[in-house]
Structure 1
């Protein structure tokens, strides 16, 4: 039996089992499975994402449980909720329809475009990250969630460009794309639609999921979602293999050895201010007040070998960072 047919059979069997048990399949929750060839035999079958992260999760093949992308260091999710490299959770609201620097290092710069909704009862906008742009040497990579009225999980709403050219990746899980001008860069679909990983060999790996604001989320948080816009946005997870001691940006600064968080963690919603320091005039601009970007320092044109790379999960408070 073909792999696709087998997967469909597993999904149908799960839906049938839930129905027979008198349960309806969870609405808006994505099905995921273990993807490790070594561990798959010990962790078979599909699982629903947890309710707290209905669309952005993965299966930890060791424990055989679905895990939320948004609960790990390096996460940027929701009305932007960040988990820093130091493990501390904070919010950075920025401003709607503006761009802000998330990371700035000698050979890497990452900006985010914020979209938002005005709540007349509040002094700020509700905001979400709609797109990110990576500056790598002289290369520019853009990944964004396209505006749409009604959300359909089967319809891919990701817009990806590399050096200004549209990137077309087959809508098949595991499909991979690499630019001929920068072989260290790769983009892989982790789902048939709306989910990819971006990797720059030796530098970083980013998980990206395009998701909507659901009717339930809008009702609970008073987001005011309308029928002509479901507020499609990105949920992100960053993992770094090499960062300098001078890295900066909204999230980048939290990976510095000398960083001391100024957010009030005793508050229900600890907010990081200082938006003006991180503002950029364009999503492909590296000219924020804290910029560390040097176009000559990236070195991504050719893939390189890295031996003895060690990674930390951040249990000691330093977040996810990998070093030689």
Structure 2
């Protein structure tokens, strides 16, 4: 008998139940295993309020504290009303480093790049300066041509500096031209060991046509910047100006040329006088301080601070025949009489330029013809001399209560 065929052992069922796939299925559940939820739980922590806290800080930044801080400064500037009562004296305190009495000046020419800007006066002239609106720099009043300052120190039309001492209690012709004449009254002091007087210009008289304009410093024992010590009169009538910077007095329409008097750079002791078409003058009353007296040996006493004028002239219509201590320096052919290069070049000519009175155009160098005629209407100018209790004096001055 044939041997039975080898038992066909069924192929091991191993392949059939390839259990691999079930195991694969089982893992799937693990995937969604709760681990992920735990991960989700952390997520809440992430958005945890930390970020909001970051937002919270932002509000603090714009917090109102900083605005309040800005507000206080604003009131401070407006506090300038307090100074406005006496503008000239508020600036000095803010300039402590430059010393008391330091003044400031502004450019007042509209259209200038520095119009309205305030500058501190240079150390050479801490109490008086002007702003050059072209260069935008403060300039000492006494350092420009046409200046008459201090122990009369002149800067002529030729730009050269010289001194003219004259004599105390005397009058000298500064400018004499056919249509303009200016005399100056000198005050002074002499020490026992001196051969000449220390002198200063106390007042000036300006003659044009038949008109007479007076500008002077009132005698003062003790100096106080807040007290006005400058006096002005026109044709014998005292001009009173409110003590406010910029206020102006104008002559009546019938007067020709027109005259303007205005306060400049301060509310006391500073004036600008203009005779239209003829000249402008900046006049400032200044004292001799005890320090000046100590340094220069003026021997000033406490009963008189020798208040005087510092002057700056600007002429508009001088002839080439002009004369006078200052006037001669404006001639085109003028050759300086003083020794150039010496420490104090002094110009003589006391007799040549001396006049018989403040309003008398009678120095030997006189050129004034007034309103026309051979004597220039001088007879009209020879008026009685008055001395007022206020300190104003001279011919043609009318005293008023």
TM-score with structure 1 setting the length: 0.84
1:215-294 to structure 2, matched below 5 A, reads 215-294=290-369
The match for 2:138 is 66
**RMSD, aligned α-carbons:** 2.4
For residue 26 of structure 1, what is the aligned residue in structure 2?
Answer: 99
Q: 1:243 to 1:224 in 2, by over 3 A?
A: same
Aligned partner of 2:152 in structure 1 is 80
- Which residue number in structure 2 is paired with residue 301 of structure 1? none
Q: Take 2:364 and 2:118, find their aligned partners in 1: how far apart are those partners? A: 46
Asked if residue 122 in structure 1 is aligned to residue 205 in structure 2, the reply is no
Aligned to 1:188: 262
Shift of residue 254, structure 1, vs aligned partner: 0.5
Q: Which moved more, 1:44-53 or 1:251-260?
A: 44-53
> What is the distance in 2 between the residues matched to 1:223 and 1:12?
27
Could you say which residue in structure 2 is the equivalent of 1:5?
81
Whose RCO is larger (CA < 8 A, sep 6+)?
1
Structure 2 residue 278 is the aligned partner of structure 1 residue 203: yes
Distance in 2 separating the partners of 1:11 and 1:90: 31
Is 1:114–1:129's contact at 8 Å kept on the other side of the alignment? Answer: yes
Larger relative strand fraction:
1
Write out per-residue CA displacement over residues 192-248 of structure 1, whole angstroms, 9 at most, x where no aligned residue: 010111111111111101111112111110111111111100000111111111100
Alignment of structure 1 residues 150-189 onto 2, 5 Å: 150-180=222-252, 181-182=254-255, 184-189=258-263
- Return 286-295 or 9-18, whichever deviates more: 9-18
Query: Any stretches of 5+ residues in structure 1 without a counterpart?
Result: 299-324
> What SS does the aligned partner of 1:93 have?
coil
Pair 1:246–1:149, CA change in 2 (3 A) = same
The CA deviation string for residues 176-207 of structure 1, in whole angstroms up to 9 with x for no partner, is 11121425111111020101111111111111
Partner of 2:112: 39
Q: Match of 1:295, SS?
A: coil
Unaligned runs of 5+ in 2: 1-76, 374-401
> Does residue 103 of structure 1 match 2:175?
yes
Q: How does 1:129-144 map to 2 (within 5 A)?
A: 129-144=201-216
Q: Give how far 1:49 is off.
A: 1.8
2 CA distance for matches of 1:258 and 1:3? Answer: 56
Contact 1:254 1:261 (C-alpha < 8 Å) held by counterparts: yes
Contact conserved, 1:188 with 1:196, CA < 8 A, in 2? yes
- Give the 3 Å change call, closer, same or farther, for CA 218–202 of structure 1 in structure 2: same
Distance 1:88 1:108, change over 3 A: same
Offset of residue 29 of structure 1? 2.4
Secondary structure at the aligned position of 2:311 is classed as: strand
* Aligned counterpart, 2:387: none
| Matched positions, count | 293
Do the aligned residues in 2 keep the contact of 1:56 with 1:235 (CA within 8 Å)? no
User: What CA distance in whole angstroms lies between the structure 2 residues aligned with 1:285 and 1:32?
Assistant: 36
CA distance in 2, matches of 1:2, 1:62: 30
- Measure how far apart 1:166 and its partner are: 0.8
TM-score (norm: length of structure 2): 0.68
Give the distance between the partners of 1:15 and 1:105, measured in 2 at CA: 41
**Equivalent of 1:49 in 107, 121, 133:** 121
- Give the SS at the match of 1:206: strand
